[in-house]
Amino acid sequence: MSAAIARVFDLHAHSTYSDGAYSPRGLIERAVAAGIHVIALTDHDTMAGHQQAEEAARELGVGFLPGVEISVTWQGKTLHLVGLRVDSGHPPLRAGLEGLALHRQQRAFEMAQRLEKVGVIGIYDEVLSLAGQGMVTRTHFAHCLARRGLAADVRDVFNRYLTPGKPGYVHSTWAGLETAIAWIRGAGGVAVLAHPIRYKLTGSWLRRLALEFKDFGGQAIEVLSGQASPGDVQASAQLAKRFDLLGSCGSDFHGPDQGWPKLGRLPPMPKDVTPVWSLWPDAEALGSTFPPAAF
Ligand code: AMP
Ligand code: MN
Ligand code: MN
Ligand code: MN
């Protein structure tokens, strides 16, 4: 008997149903090529890609978990919660995400209006056509503005136009923290605080967030996240241990040319952090037909 092979989990990734570069099928194909055993699709505020991803994952023999990345407003700050293994038929979760989708549409219209005031004319239709049937995000604006040569690259567009205080920024009130956790848990999912270090909170705010998140039923935080430095990983691991939260692991992959990290390329979970998949008795069996056909 050989020892069990370590499973490679990537529990945070995007498709064209939000601001990712690949279709759900394209994402699954790349997950297989990257040697991932279990992948979660976590588009911003939508579950529309689950069915396609699920079908592709079944065909290609990789484990698939339906997920979502929910936009949350907490204490005036925007946070992201990842819901893992959610039942996408759960009515309160579906209704909640529909509300956020509507907000995204209204926000896009307002952003375009604000951008007109600084001379960016007629961007709205371009942005909607780029977003297609997926959620419209600031990333779509960034791509359209960059295409027009209005900034050096996508990151530069964010800095010049799309962040608080800049001409295209529109303040949003997203879902409440307690509400979003309730949607996820109600749908049988696991609530994960995404990329905790990226919010640039002070230590005391971060601890306050972890405490409230836990009190409301949050179960895990991303200890391993695509852009995290070794120091970030250590800080997140400490937070997980202090507040008795499980550790999740997700690249937050969007695509090849966005400067985002690679799919599945994450360091191992620190030994003293309990991984989120300890909640899933079948974790070892997920995607167990791997490796499938090569391509
Ligand atoms: P939204 O939820 O529509 O406000 O868009 C948020 C998304 O924009 C994030 O999930 C990232 O993918 C992307 N984003 C945010 N800030 C930046 C940045 N500075 N550079 C590049 N992408 C960013
Ligand atoms: Mn994104
Ligand atoms: Mn995020
Ligand atoms: Mn994300």
Beta-ladder partners of 40: 65
In contact, 72 and 177? CB cutoff 8 Å:
yes
192 CB-contact burial (10 Å; exposed 0-12 / middle 13-18 / buried 19+): buried
Mutate-to-test residue for ligand 1 from 139, 153, 254, highest number of ligand atoms within 8 A of CB = 139
Q: What is the pLDDT of residue 265?
A: 86
The tokens describing 165, both together, are 């205080």
Q: What is the pLDDT of residue 285?
A: 82
Query: Residue written as tokens 């959610």?
Result: 86
Q: Determine whether the shortest distance from the Cβ of 19 to ligand 1 is under 6 A.
A: yes
Non-local (6+) Cβ contacts of 103 within 8 A are 172, 173, 174
Beta pairing, strands 9-10 & 63-74: unpaired
- Of ligand 1's listed atoms, the one at least distance from the Cα of 135 is 3
DSSP state, residue 284: G
How far apart (Å, rounded) are the C-alpha atoms in residues 254 and 19? 7
Q: Determine whether the shortest distance from the Cβ of 44 to ligand 1 is under 6 A.
A: yes
Query: Rounded to the nearest whole angstrom, what is the distance from the C-alpha of residue 17 to the centroid of ligand 1?
Result: 15
Query: What residue ranges do the domains of the chain occupy?
Result: 101-162
In contact, 248 and 234? CB cutoff 8 Å:
no
Non-local (6+) Cβ contacts of 243 within 8 A are 207, 210, 211, 213, 214
How far apart (Å, rounded) are the C-alpha atoms in residues 94 and 45? 10
Query: Rounded to the nearest whole angstrom, what is the distance from the C-alpha of residue 83 to the centroid of ligand 3?
Result: 12
3-state secondary structure at position 249: strand
Query: Rounded to the nearest whole angstrom, what is the distance from the C-alpha of residue 117 to the centroid of ligand 1?
Result: 22
DSSP state, residue 13: B
Q: Determine whether the shortest distance from the Cβ of 138 to ligand 1 is under 6 A.
A: yes
- Of ligand 1's listed atoms, the one at least distance from the Cα of 107 is 3
What would the pLDDT profile of 95-141 be if each residue is shown by its tens digit?
A: 999 999 999 999 999 999 999 999 999 999 999 999 999 999 999 99
Q: Determine whether the shortest distance from the Cβ of 71 to ligand 1 is under 6 A.
A: yes
Q: Within 10 A of 289 (CB to CB), how many other CB atoms are there? A: 11
Nearest CA to ligand 1 atom 8: 139
Beta pairing, strands 9-10 & 77-84: unpaired
Q: What is the pLDDT of residue 293?
A: 44
What would the pLDDT profile of 3-32 be if each residue is shown by its tens digit?
A: 456 789 999 999 999 999 999 999 999 999
Instruction: Give, for 210, the enclosing helix (H) or strand (E).
Output: helix 203-215
- CATH second-level architecture of 101-162? Orthogonal Bundle (1.10)
Ligand at minimal distance from the CA of 252 is 4
How far apart (Å, rounded) are the C-alpha atoms in residues 165 and 266? 34
Nearest CA to ligand 1 atom 11: 139
Q: Determine whether the shortest distance from the Cβ of 158 to ligand 1 is under 6 A.
A: yes
Q: Determine whether the shortest distance from the Cβ of 137 to ligand 1 is under 6 A.
A: yes
Q: Within 10 A of 131 (CB to CB), how many other CB atoms are there? A: 23
Q: Determine whether the shortest distance from the Cβ of 155 to ligand 1 is under 6 A.
A: yes
The angle subtended at Cα 133 by Cα 151 and Cα 82, nearest 5°, is: 80
Beta pairing, strands 190-193 & 77-84: antiparallel
Query: Residue written as tokens 């929910």?
Result: 70
- Of ligand 1's listed atoms, the one at least distance from the Cα of 136 is 3
What would the pLDDT profile of 159-207 be if each residue is shown by its tens digit?
A: 999 999 999 999 999 999 999 999 999 999 999 999 999 999 999 999 9
Mutate-to-test residue for ligand 1 from 14, 16, 19, 77, highest number of ligand atoms within 8 A of CB = 19
Q: Label residue 258 by pLDDT band (50, 70, 90).
A: low
In contact, 79 and 177? CB cutoff 8 Å:
yes
Ion ligand 2, residues whose Cβ is below 5 A away:
19
Q: Determine whether the shortest distance from the Cβ of 236 to ligand 1 is under 6 A.
A: no
Query: Rounded to the nearest whole angstrom, what is the distance from the C-alpha of residue 14 to the centroid of ligand 4?
Result: 6
Q: What is the pLDDT of residue 1?
A: 38
The b-or-e profile of 38-64 (16+ CB within 10 A means b, else e) is bbbbbbbbbbbbbebbbebbeebebbb
CA dihedral over 28, 30, 31, 36, signed as positive or negative: positive
In contact, 35 and 8? CB cutoff 8 Å:
yes
Question: Is the link from the previous residue into 291 a cis peptide, with omega within 30 of 0?
Answer: yes
